Amino acid sequence: MCGIVGAVAQRDVSQILLEGLKRLEYRGYDSAGMALISVQTNEIDCIKAMGKVEKLEASMKQRPFAGRVGIAHTRWATHGEPSERNAHPHISDDEIAVVHNGIIENYQTLRSNLQDVGYRFLSETDTEAVVHLIHQACRDEGLSLLAAVKKTVKQLHGAYGLSVISRSEPDKIIVARSGSPLVIGVGIGENFIASDALALGQVTDRFMYLEEGDIAEVTLTSVRIWDVNDKPVKRSITMITSEIASTDKGEFGHFMLKEIYEQAHVIRNTLNGRISDTHVLEEAFGVKAKAIFDKVTSVQIVACGTSFHAGLVTKYWLEDIARIPCHVDIASDYRYRNIIVQPGTLFISISQSGETADTLAALRFAKQADYVGRLAICNVATSSLVRESDFCLMTNAGREIGVASTKAFTTQLCALLLMTLVVARRHGMTDAVEQQYVRDLNELPALVTKTLELDPEIRTLSKALRDKQHALFLGRGIQYPVAKEGALKLKEISYIHAEAYPAGELKHGPLALVDEKMPVIATVPNDDLLAKVKGNLMEVSARGGKLFLFADEKAGFENDRNCKVVHMPSVPDVLSPIIYTIPLQLLSYHVAVLKGTDVDQPRNLAKSVTVE
């Protein structure tokens, strides 16, 4: 959860880099640093500071600091505590400087080998091993900076976005991407690099997005790129005004629809740098995470609204995959009952904004209890929730403007599934099982994209709900929280009264409401509960109820007079809560549009609830 920015120009780039860091500060603020090829000495000049970027800015004002080539970084600690010595950039022999996003899993072995040949390490980070490896290749083998980086990345296991400068080649930046995004900003007589186009909105609106495995050489006048097979390639230039990208609806009628369609992209952002091809990189949770996770034997979750539904899904995951108990409480009620904390319990708070008053109050209350640790799942790195928790995992959803949460919810689920897998490996989950889950996660963005292709069909379906006053949502097992989220979305933005029930509870009361005027909406994946759900739905149909089903294409449902079916792509069971949420978001959106309500700012609601 770090930010990178760099520049090659004919002017001083220090203020460009500083502004870029400020724009990336939402990604983490443990420390910040900058390295330039000094215009005074032609050597690498480096400044680092603990805390927010403003601390770095203050340090830069204390002495001359200017250069035409430079790299900068804002850090969220994964290896080594927050400190100036662990802050990036890291430098080898005053010759080469590196900034790095991601996690190098085999850094301990690399570090030991480098120490054996005389390299002295000044930090606890994985990144310092990378800069010494590059220096070693340049010094001992006479390689160019580009060749040294190409050689080095072949030795790295894990995820990385690297940016490298050298005093001996002061006219370029070398960048490499694997599992952690990087973008090149294209200027006129100058070029830039960053981990997010947002960082460069003040200097360019033209960007090249590096693909997995790419390595690039960036100079004043050229950008050369090699792919994962070391073949020269060209990457297309995309025009984007990053200043307004997060506050402009673009081609979409509402921010909510835009944010629904962003989910494949932001889910990839959530996963980037946190999973390899085979397993979850638990270092992404921070330096304190391993010691805390080692103690976890149960979990307590608190949250509000949509985040509460994410917690309910997580309960199913933890109890099924990790085989440990999980309790989920609405944050506003949590501290008003007699809490019994079992030994080994991890406290998890979930909030999109990190400023939700009830969730913050619950966290502060939990600090007085004997939890093994307090983990925040949040979208805002500078929020109170993150600052007051022991450790966190950021969802990387980007700014969400629509009050009804969409992409924030699905990225919360992704982050919570990563947490589940990290805990599960300590409670008997085999490497083979984890590898399958990670393969599924790597396919998730493509499955989201495929699901969004159902939008025209869902828009047509929504017409049948336009004039309804009530709706009943059903789900069984892990789909019950999905049904609750679907009902919440419909009531939030269309003002239709909607309730969700476990499908098996129909005959215990809700069935009395079912008639031809009551739409019944259900999500039906092809899982172990399919036969049970079919039986529940027959009870609705037998009483003249109108069924609207989002069902797996292999589940055996067909359209008839009383049943409208949207056939969903087949998905792994573990991903079904994420995938089946999306059509319910679209359905709610289109119904609200037909009813003419204020989709993005529904009445009586606020984006962040900062009062109890």
Residues 596 and 495 sit within 8 Å (Cβ to Cβ)? no
State the Cα–Cα distance between residues 63 and 26, nearest whole angstrom.
Answer: 27
Residues 285 and 1 sit within 8 Å (Cβ to Cβ)? no
Helix then strand then coil, in percent of the chain rounded to 5, is 40, 25, 35
Q: Which of 10, 357, 59 is nearest to 191 (CA)?
A: 10
Q: Is 326 a known active-site residue?
A: no
Q: Which of 44, 153, 160 is nearest to 97 (CA)?
A: 44
Residues 33 and 5 sit within 8 Å (Cβ to Cβ)? no
Residues 129 and 114 sit within 8 Å (Cβ to Cβ)? yes
State the Cα–Cα distance between residues 103 and 101, nearest whole angstrom.
Answer: 7
Strands 158-166, 169-178: pairing is antiparallel
According to DSSP, the residues that pair with 351 across neighbouring strands are: 378
Would residue 208 be called left, alpha or beta, if left means φ above 0 and alpha means ψ between -120 and 50 degrees? beta
Q: Which of 186, 375, 182 is nearest to 269 (CA)?
A: 182
| Count of residues in the chain | 612
Residue 202, phi then psi, degrees to nearest 5: -80, -10
Residue 216, phi then psi, degrees to nearest 5: -135, 150
Q: Is 52 a known active-site residue?
A: no
Query: Hey, what are 319's tokens?
Result: 């109890």
Catalytic residue among 55, 150, 450, 607: 607
Residues 168 and 97 sit within 8 Å (Cβ to Cβ)? no
Query: Hey, what are 21's tokens?
Result: 């860091």
Which DSSP category does 570 fall into? Answer: P
State the Cα–Cα distance between residues 414 and 565, nearest whole angstrom.
Answer: 27
Angle in degrees, CA 569, 511, 478, rounded to 5: 35
Residues 172 and 218 sit within 8 Å (Cβ to Cβ)? yes
Q: If residue 507 lies in a helix (H) or strand (E), which one and from where to where?
A: none
Residue in this structure with the two tokens 């609705």, named with its chain if needed: 540
Tell me the longest C-alpha to C-alpha distance in the chain. 84
Query: Hey, what are 522's tokens?
Result: 């259900």
Helical segments of 394-463, H only = 407-424, 431-452, 455-462
State the Cα–Cα distance between residues 570 and 71, nearest whole angstrom.
Answer: 44
Catalytic residue among 2, 304, 326, 392: 2
- By annotation, the residues acting in catalysis are 2, 607
